[in-house]
Amino acid sequence: MQRVTRSADAPIPPSRLHGAAGGLAAALAATTGAQALATLTVFVLPVLAPLAARDLGAAPHWVGYQVAAVYVAASTTSALSAGALRRWGPARCTQIALAAAGIACLLMALAGLPGALLGSLLTGLGYGLTNPAASQVLSRLAPPARRNMVFAVKQTGVPIGAALAGLLLPSLALLAGWRVAVLGIAVLLLLAALGAGIFRAAWDAERDPRYPLRLGAGGGLAALRDRPGLRGLAAVSALFSGFQLALGAYTVTMLVEEFGWSPVAAGAVAAVSQGIGAVARLGWGLVADWWRSGLRALAAIGLITTLGALALPFALAWPGAAVIGLFCLLGGSAAGWNGVLMAEAARMAAPGKVGDAAGGVLAVAFAGVVVGPSILALVVGAVGSYALAFGLLALLPLAGMVIAWRTARWA
């Protein structure tokens, strides 16, 4: 068997770009859908915590540690994803990610607290593959002048998945029980994993089945070491991710326990804010392309997020409409940065190393996610207030804003 030597990130020949499964539109739809489903799985327990915590024998605020477990695993997988992409290809890696999420939901629903922990780790192992795989595919297909917008569209999968979790899961859980709701998500994920197989011929043709996984194990971290701008970008991703996931994990619980809202109303607000985040990613992609600087757009996002976080402690005395408006603002900023950042990672990557760069940046981002919700859980335990804890956590987006601005000036 002849070893393939063409770079996995090199442009795909034009004859293969326009097939049903090989074009940009199909790739964008598939990668966005996979990202949405993977993110939906991440938010299953955080959204259902007020209903599921008692059955699992855990306090609702412990969900921060569950989110941390997801992203410890995701960080590890992202750092090691380069070898998997070279050996199996992005389509197969996407299938593995979705199947892992489906099995994780089965464990969460059927195996009690140990199953929730094991399912969280399995969710993270799959989640860490989705972005590097998608980045490798889209970097081949996206025109440079539209790179920010293409990656912004793909990254709308994150708030879409979070919005679906907030919109659907509380209602399904009240109707049929939280375990039935989680089992339904498991079936959906396993079917999606099978469906992603139609992209194997178009996406995985350049894989090398004999490539040793260990050779690509450090590719993501090596990319950060070799490309100085990526290190600043990775730091921004860690700081922004820590705040974003803490907000996503605790929005429903905070609105129920501290603002006195019903689980369905709180889930609806979480869904609306995440939906606005999905639209905002497109807007920020346009801004970044217009400014010709994704880093300056990231700095602006950090400023808005900081101001919104500082307002949260005061929102306890606000009317409901004002609270909804604040969460919409935070949705547009705290959940709106990912597409611009991934496009910047692709731009800064060495030739043929887009998958490695995405994996390295995301490994650091996921490490930040581990810290963010965990810090918030500790602060809530110390101060007794979710809103006040988020006001203190504003230091994360503030630091990210400073690093993004300084990196933009250096670049």
Whole-model pTM over 0.85: no
Q: What percent of the chain has pLDDT over 90?
A: 22
CATH value at residue 158 = 1.20.1250.20
How does pLDDT run across 225-273, given as a tens digit for each residue? 777 778 888 889 999 988 987 887 788 888 988 888 888 888 888 878 8
pLDDT of residue 94: 92
- Rounded Cα distance, 21 and 201, in Å: 8
Flag whether 10 is in a domain. no
Q: Hunting for tokens 């980045």 — which residue is that?
A: 135
How far apart CA 260 and CA 254 sit, in angstroms, is 9
d(Cα 373, Cα 153) in Å, to the nearest integer? Answer: 26
Higher-confidence residue of 194 and 352: namely 194
Q: Is the pLDDT of residue 290 over 90?
A: no
Q: Is residue 286 part of a domain?
A: yes
- Per cent of the chain over pLDDT 70 is 88
Predicted confidence at residue 87, as pLDDT, reads 83
Inside any domain, residue 3 = no
Q: How many whole angstroms separate alpha carbon 124 and alpha carbon 192?
A: 17
Say how far apart CA 78 and CA 124 lie, in whole Å.
10
Report the pLDDT value the prediction gives residue 22, as an integer from 0 to 100. Answer: 59
Q: Is residue 45 part of a domain?
A: yes
pLDDT in tens, 344-401: 887 877 776 776 777 778 778 877 877 887 788 888 888 888 999 999 999 999 999 9
- Summarised one tens digit per residue, pLDDT across range 307-324 is 999 999 999 889 989 999
For residue 109, pLDDT over 50 is answered with yes
In a domain, 60, yes or no: yes
CA-CA distance, 299 to 190, in Å (whole number)?
A: 38
Q: What is the DSSP letter of 207?
A: -
Contacts with 227 (C-beta within 8 Å, 6 or more apart), sequence order = 348, 349, 350, 357
In this prediction, residue 96 carries a pLDDT of: 93
Q: What is the pLDDT of residue 186?
A: 93
pLDDT at 12 over 60: no
Between 129 and 10, where is the model more confident?
129
Return the pLDDT at 84: 81
Closest by Cα among 144, 126, 131 to 31: 131
Flag the least confident range among 31-40, 157-166, 220-229: 220-229
Q: Read off the pLDDT of residues 37-67 as tens digits, 9 standing for 90 and up.
A: 998 998 888 888 777 777 777 766 666 677 7
Q: Could you tell me if residue 397 is inside a domain? A: yes
Per-residue pLDDT for 407 more than 70?
A: yes
Which pLDDT score, from 0 to 100, does residue 322 have? 93
pLDDT confidence bin for 18, thresholds 50/70/90: very low
Residue-wise pLDDT for 85-101, tens only, equals 888 888 999 999 999 99
With 50 as the cut, is the pLDDT of residue 2 above it? no
Q: Is residue 5 part of a domain?
A: no
Rounded mean pLDDT, 281-302: 87
Say if residue 294's pLDDT is above 90: no
Total domains in the fold of the chain: 1
Residue 282 forms part of a structural domain:
yes
Domain range for 61 = 20-199+217-410
